[in-house]
Amino acid sequence: MKTGTQLQQDVMAELKREPSVHASQIGVEVKDGVVTLAGEVSSYLEKWGAERAVQRVVGVRALAIDMTVKLSQMGKRTDTDIAASARNVLSGTNSIPIDTVQVLVEDGWITLSGEVVWNYQRSDAADRVRLLPGVRGVSNQISIKPRASAIVVKSEIEDAIKRRATSDTKTIVVDVTGGDVTLTGTVRSWTERDLVVHSAWGSPGVRQVFDRMTII
């Protein structure tokens, strides 16, 4: 197991390798495997990039974010402009049916709502508006249309985990109620945790995934 100092050094090194991040502007604290990021960043994309970079580091058990997005004067845009750009980018996306996603912008923060069939559509919508200039944050409230059989969903998820996992999957428990999936058990790294969660989201009709797994 890594010491706190080793984990801090690994996190700082990964932040430096992330092209969207100015690592010198981000403070890193580590305690008992919990990483806290603090400081000011120039865009929401940079903040998101820092979060993803930390999650790639083996040994990170949890992540706390204390960063703020401080836009430059040139980077600031009105909510009306941001909303129009968001609508345009979503309308031009083939993976998202037209008029299934609604956009609300308040003080640079985008809230997405609506209903789609697949989680990749939900994720794609957030990924596209996240790139827009002037955005301070994104709340993804798009819901997934429920699927009839929880048994089928459970079986599909378990099969997907077995196909993709690099270690024993017997430590992972999948429970499905309606369109809600709860994952419990243990995994060996954040990367493996992401793989399991991604496998759960990959089944049509999954509305929510509750990740209650523990990294050992």
What pLDDT digit, counting tens, does each position of 81-101 carry?
A: 999 999 999 988 888 888 899
pLDDT at residue 147 in the model = 65
Could you tell me the residue range of the domain that residue 111 belongs to?
79-144
134 phi and psi angles, rounded to 5 deg = 90, -5
How many domains does the chain contain in total? 3
Q: What is the C-alpha to C-alpha distance for residues 172 and 100, in angstroms, rounded to an integer? A: 34
pLDDT at residue 16 in the model = 94
pLDDT at residue 108 in the model = 92
pLDDT at residue 168 in the model = 67
Task: List Cβ neighbours of 150 (8 Å cut-off, separation of 6 or more).
Answer: 176, 177, 178
Q: What is the C-alpha to C-alpha distance for residues 111 and 40, in angstroms, rounded to an integer? A: 22
In a domain, 74, yes or no: no
pLDDT at residue 201 in the model = 85
pLDDT at residue 159 in the model = 83
Nearest to 160 by CA among 115, 119, 129: 119
Walk along the chain (216 residues) in steps of 10 and give the mean pLDDT of each run.
Answer: 89 93 93 93 91 91 91 85 94 85 94 90 92 92 78 81 71 85 87 85 82 87
Instruction: Give residue for tokens 């996190």.
Output: 11
In a domain, 160, yes or no: yes
In a domain, 16, yes or no: yes
Residue 33 gets which letter from DSSP? T
Q: What is the C-alpha to C-alpha distance for residues 148 and 102, in angstroms, rounded to an integer? A: 25
Q: How many CB atoms lie within 10 A of CB 60?
A: 23
> Which CATH number characterizes residue 183's domain?
3.30.1340.30
pTM: 0.62
Is the domain of 170 the same as that of 114? no
